[in-house]
């Protein structure tokens, strides 16, 4: 079974630029999550999708972050404009349904200069 | 906000020794999960323990859950150098209306020396 795919793996941008991350979850997984992990901390949930609907985006900075999940499969997370404090690893995860085991992708490491 | 707090923050042991990591949380839960993260990589799921379970085993891993104390522990027996990683506990907050989102602690950084 293929795992969660993410791209790119690394991205370096300057502040005020925009950036987008892509995630392809495990086939058949209805729930998709985006997490932000700052160095030395645990992952923090940014947004959770159930199929193509948003379940929770309470911690998503909506003035600069946006996310969508087209046709309930792939998802993109966008930051526009980026700030220095957005430097982090962005992790995508999926699960069959909520409350169950989440499977994580390798993450995208973002550095904002 | 952080739900789980791991203790210790860092642990260094010799190969063959046992490693114990603890996690405390604040609200009721439906389940608690432990994940491992090797440096520069994504998280790998280790064990899920439900609120009505007290102990669970998986290979060299043993997880206990005490809901009265709102705490859990992860024991790795006969540790290997390959166990070197960060270990996180994650809870779901206990509210099905939250859709099962996980709240992670800060993690315990385990170093196993050969």
From CA B46, how far away is CA B35, in angstroms rounded? 5
Please, what CATH class does the domain formed by A5-99 belong to? mainly beta
* CA neighbor of B67 nearest in space, from B94, B43, B85: B94
What is the domain partition of chain A in residue ranges? 5-99
Q: What is the SS3 assignment for A104?
A: strand
- Which domains, from first to last, does chain B contain? 5-113 (2.60.40.10)
Collect all residues of chain A within an 8 Å Cβ-Cβ radius of residue B33.
101-102
Model confidence pLDDT, tens digit, residues A28-59: 999 999 999 999 899 999 999 998 899 889 99
Q: Which of B102, B104, B105, B107 is the best substitution to test chain A (most A C-beta atoms within 10 A)?
A: B102
For residue B60, what are its two tokens?
Answer: 């060299």
pLDDT tens for chain B, 114 residues: list them: 445 688 899 999 999 999 999 999 988 888 899 999 998 788 999 999 999 999 999 999 999 999 999 999 999 999 999 999 999 999 987 665 556 678 899 999 999 999
Who contacts B50 (Cβ-Cβ below 8 Å, separation ≥6)?
B30, B31
Q: What is the SS3 assignment for A108?
A: strand
Residues 65-84 of B with CB under 8 A from A: none
Which helix (H) or strand (E) is A4 found in, with range?
Answer: none
pLDDT of residue A71: 84
């Amino acid at each position: 079974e293929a795992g969660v795919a993410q791209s790119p793996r690394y991205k370096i941008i300057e502040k005020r630029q925009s950036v987008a991350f892509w995630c392809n979850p495990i086939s058949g997984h209805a729930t998709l999550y985006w997490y932000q992990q700052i160095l030395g901390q645990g992952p923090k949930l940014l947004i959770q999708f159930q199929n193509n609907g948003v379940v929770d985006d309470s911690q998503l900075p909506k003035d600069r972050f946006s996310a969508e999940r087209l046709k309930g499969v792939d998802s993109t997370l966008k930051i526009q404009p980026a700030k220095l404090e957005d430097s982090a690893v962005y992790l995508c995860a999926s699960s069959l349904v909520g409350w169950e085991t989440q499977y994580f992708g390798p993450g995208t490491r973002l550095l904002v200069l | 906000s952080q739900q789980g707090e791991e203790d210790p923050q860092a642990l260094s042991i010799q190969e063959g020794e046992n490693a114990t990591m603890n996690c405390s949380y604040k609200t009721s839960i439906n389940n608690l999960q432990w994940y491992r993260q090797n440096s520069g990589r994504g998280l790998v799921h280790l064990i899920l323990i439900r609120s009505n379970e007290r102990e669970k085993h998986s290979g060299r891993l043993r997880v206990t859950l005490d809901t009265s104390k709102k705490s859990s522990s992860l024991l790795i027996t006969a540790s290997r150098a390959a166990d070197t990683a960060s270990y996180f506990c994650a809870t779901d907050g206990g509210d099905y209306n939250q859709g099962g989102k996980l709240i992670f602690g800060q993690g315990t950084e385990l170093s196993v020396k050969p």
